[in-house]
């Protein structure tokens, strides 16, 4: 690996202006960000999305990392921005979030574990606010604010199903009430850090967090609780993006990690702003498929000030398309051209969603050894028939940047032509109208089934001036809200069971179906394989 000071120099940042954490990672203070003019203007931003994920995995992060390396191979100054992995999946089932094979971000083990402590800072600030809120109620400091009016839950980074529901304040130790824990990646504070454009904006947003409601339905904010200053102190360093590097030495900015199914699923606006001011081509990744992470990238992140992308890469795999074509997981390694052709409807849908936002799509087929020429040709024909601008095989896992140059050339050609970005809805549309538009245009649902009091809640939010974008919390395994429905299902309902306000993150979270905001561990978690070897090196994190 290159010394982190050398990597920083590629971004136009001197060694004296970074805060190193060891030899291979560093924090970048906000006041050291270079201006785009100093590096020849604003770079092109490429967002990587995918077909609807399958249990087999599509390798979106591997493609994003490999593309960054491939751009460097064709002589472009490239950089990567990605989310920080959550410890829950690392020790649970999903595994690491730094790519794979010859296309990884380094130091991978450290990134997948503590990195520079940002997740700890988020959890500390979030749970401090919970304690201060309980204390406010316990001491009757806000008129009409009682225990059953508290909505602010606590967070943990462990996949601990026993904490999904909890009773607190037993034996008179504080206000007694029913509550629970969410995974830290779903914390509103995580979302705020990913969306804030500086410390002043962070302070404003933290003060706007709604922690509960009074008896007469007035919102109670973190600012009223008096928690903002102490949270700012805890989050000072977390606000600064983390600098790492790809396996081939390109800058990789790893910052914030909201989940893509229950949160907005993107790395930080600050990371993107730093990268496009410092590199010619910037690759970023949106969580899960085009109907989730990409839509949120556009309607939440770009809407709130993130740089507009110039092109989109849609990642697919032959085996993923076979799964959407009806093949059982155990049979995915067997050739089946007909199933691939049937599954390409899901790829066509992803390309259609990208086009809906004014972007041209380049399809990346993440190659696996068992892919046959006939299956690959079927994917390429379907992609071009669906009006993708280009399609290329992605071989970054096996070949690193050398296996990504065809995709890199295609991306440059499309990104250089520019884009005419549009968003799905106007800010002033009602929450109900926004959700029903999404149900129709994104998910192909016949109707929205509104749960008890959800429309009343939506109107109450609007009465408080919260005309925010929608953060749809739904399964990532289907375009619909039913994880069992593969490909591009039609004739289904979108059930909205609950609405939550994230006033600081300026989004309304709509829970579509029974969404777990705190995953549980599988029967054999990855934690069983993680250890130190005889030389005290971390092992088992990346082998999942």
Question: What pLDDT does 350 receive?
Answer: 98
Are the CB atoms for 300 and 469 separated by under 8 Å? yes
Question: What pLDDT does 500 receive?
Answer: 95
The token duo for 135 is 């204390």
Helical (H) or strand (E) element with 428 = none
The token duo for 242 is 């983390």
Alpha carbons 239 and 226: distance in angstroms, whole number: 20
Distances in Å between the Cα of 458 and the Cα atoms of 278, 361, 490 are 41, 34, 26
Instruction: Tell me the domain boundaries of the chain.
Output: 44-116+242-417, 118-235, 431-512
User: Of 75, 46, 69, nearest to 394 (Cα)?
Assistant: 69
3-state secondary structure of 218: coil
Cβ neighbours of residue 225 closer than 8 Å, sequence gap 6 or more: 129, 132, 133, 136, 211
Question: What pLDDT does 57 receive?
Answer: 84
Chain centre distance of CA 396: 22
Distances in Å between the Cα of 497 and the Cα atoms of 441, 452, 453 are 20, 7, 9
Alpha carbons 169 and 191: distance in angstroms, whole number: 28
How many of the other CB atoms lie within 10 Å of CB of 523?
5
Question: What pLDDT does 172 receive?
Answer: 77
Q: Please give, one letter per residue, the 3-state secondary structure of 44-104.
A: EEEEEEECCCCCCCCCHHHHHHHHHHHHHHCCCCEEEEECCCCHHHHHCCCCCCCEECCEE
165: exposed, middle or buried (Cβ count in 10 Å: 0-12, 13-18, 19+): exposed
In CATH terms, the superfamily for domain 431-512 is Formyltetrahydrofolate synthetase, domain 3 (3.10.410.10)
Measured N-to-C along each axis, helices 454-463 and 431-441 cross at an angle, to the nearest 10 degrees, of: 130
Domain at 118-235, CATH from 3.40.50.1220, 3.30.565.10, 3.30.1510.10, 3.30.70.1280: 3.30.1510.10
Tens of pLDDT, residue by residue over 439-492, are 999 999 999 999 999 999 999 999 999 999 999 999 999 999 999 999 999 999
3-state secondary structure of 235: helix
CATH dotted code for 44-116+242-417: 3.40.50.300
State mean pLDDT over 518-522.
88
* CA neighbours closer than 13 Å in the CB half-sphere of residue 206: 28
Tens of pLDDT, residue by residue over 523-541, are 888 889 899 999 999 988 8
State mean pLDDT over 387-392.
98
State mean pLDDT over 289-307.
96
Cβ neighbours of residue 5 closer than 8 Å, sequence gap 6 or more: 15, 18, 20, 26
C-alpha dihedral, 115 to 118 to 119 to 124, nearest 10°: 140
Tens of pLDDT, residue by residue over 212-226, are 999 999 999 999 999
Strand ranges inside 266-385, DSSP E: 281-285, 311-316, 361-366
Alpha carbons 292 and 443: distance in angstroms, whole number: 10
Alpha carbons 48 and 316: distance in angstroms, whole number: 11
pTM of the model: 0.95
Maximum alpha-carbon separation in the chain: 70
The token duo for 423 is 């968003």
Under the phi-then-psi rule, with left for phi > 0, alpha for psi from -120 to 50, and beta for the rest, what region is 136? alpha
Tens of pLDDT, residue by residue over 49-58, are 999 999 888 8
Alpha carbons 425 and 469: distance in angstroms, whole number: 9
Phi and psi, residue 425, nearest 5°? -150, 165
Which residues sit opposite 536 in a β-bridge? Answer: none
Distances in Å between the Cα of 301 and the Cα atoms of 89, 310, 338, 472, 501 are 24, 15, 38, 14, 17
3-state secondary structure of 434: helix
Tens of pLDDT, residue by residue over 19-71, are 999 999 999 999 999 876 555 568 999 999 999 999 888 899 999 999 999 99
Tens of pLDDT, residue by residue over 244-266, are 999 999 999 999 999 888 899 99
The token duo for 26 is 């560093």
The structure tokens 């591009």 sit at 488
Alpha carbons 306 and 81: distance in angstroms, whole number: 13
* CA neighbours closer than 13 Å in the CB half-sphere of residue 393: 17
Percent of the chain with pLDDT strictly greater than 70:
98
Alpha carbons 219 and 241: distance in angstroms, whole number: 32
Are the CB atoms for 465 and 473 separated by under 8 Å? no
pLDDT level of residue 506 (50, 70, 90 thresholds)? very high
Question: What pLDDT does 544 receive?
Answer: 40
């Amino acid at each position: 690996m290159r010394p982190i000071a050398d990597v920083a120099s590629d971004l136009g940042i001197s060694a004296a202006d970074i805060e190193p954490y060891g030899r291979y990672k560093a924090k970048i203070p906000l006041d050291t960000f270079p201006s785009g003019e100093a590096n020849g203007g604003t770079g092109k931003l490429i967002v990587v999305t995918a077909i609807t994920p399958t249990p087999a995995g599509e390798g979106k992060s591997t493609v994003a990392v490999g593309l960054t390396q491939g751009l460097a191979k064709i002589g472009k100054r490239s950089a990567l921005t990605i989310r920080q992995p959550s410890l829950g999946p690392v020790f649970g089932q999903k595994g690491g979030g730094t790519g794979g094979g010859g296309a990884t971000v380094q130091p991978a083990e450290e990134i997948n574990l503590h990195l520079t402590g940002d997740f700890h800072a988020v959890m500390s600030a979030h749970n401090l606010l919970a304690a201060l809120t309980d204390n406010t109620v316990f001491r009757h400091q806000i008129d009409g604010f009682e225990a059953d009016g508290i909505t602010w839950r606590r967070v943990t980074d462990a996949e601990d199903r026993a904490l999904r529901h909890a009773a607190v304040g037993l034996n008179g130790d504080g206000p007694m009430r029913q509550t629970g824990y969410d995974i830290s990646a779903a914390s509103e504070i995580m979302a705020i850090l990913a969306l804030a454009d500086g410390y002043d904006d962070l302070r404003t947003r933290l003060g706007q967090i709604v922690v509960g409601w009074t008896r007469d339905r007035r919102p109670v904010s973190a600012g009223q609780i008096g928690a903002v200053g102490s949270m700012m102190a805890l989050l000072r360093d977390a606000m600064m993006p983390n600098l790492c590097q790809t396996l081939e030495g390109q800058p990789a900015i790893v910052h914030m990690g909201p989940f893509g199914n229950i949160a907005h699923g993107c790395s930080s606006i600050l990371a993107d702003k730093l990268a496009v001011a410092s590199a010619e081509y910037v690759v970023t990744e949106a969580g899960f498929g085009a109907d989730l992470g990409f839509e949120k990238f556009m309607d939440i992140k770009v809407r709130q000030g993130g740089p507009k992308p110039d092109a989109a890469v849609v990642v697919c795999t032959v085996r993923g398309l076979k799964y959407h074509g009806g093949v059982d997981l155990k049979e995915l390694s067997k050739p089946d051209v007909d199933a691939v052709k049937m599954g390409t409807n899901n790829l066509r849908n992803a390309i259609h969603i990208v086009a809906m936002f004014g972007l041209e799509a380049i399809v990346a087929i993440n190659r696996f050894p068992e892919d046959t020429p006939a299956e690959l040709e079927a994917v390429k024909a379907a992609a071009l028939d669906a009006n993708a601008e280009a399609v290329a095989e992605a071989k970054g896992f096996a070949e690193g940047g050398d296996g990504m140059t065809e995709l890199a050339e295609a991306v440059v050609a499309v990104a250089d032509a520019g884009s005419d970005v549009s968003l799905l809805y106007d800010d002033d549309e009602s929450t109900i109208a926004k959700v029903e538009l999404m149900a129709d245009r994104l998910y192909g649902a016949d109707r929205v089934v509104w749960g008890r009091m959800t429309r009343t809640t939506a109107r109450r939010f609007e009465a408080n001036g919260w005309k925010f974008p929608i953060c749809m919390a739904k399964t990532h395994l289907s375009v619909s809200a039913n994880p069992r429905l593969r490909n591009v299902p039609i004739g289904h309902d979108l059930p909205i069971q609950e609405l939550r306000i994230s006033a600081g993150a300026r989004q309304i979270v709509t829970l579509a179906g029974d969404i777990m905001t705190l995953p549980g561990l599988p029967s054999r978690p990855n934690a069983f394989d993680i250890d130190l070897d005889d030389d005290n090196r971390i092992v088992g994190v990346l082998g999942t």
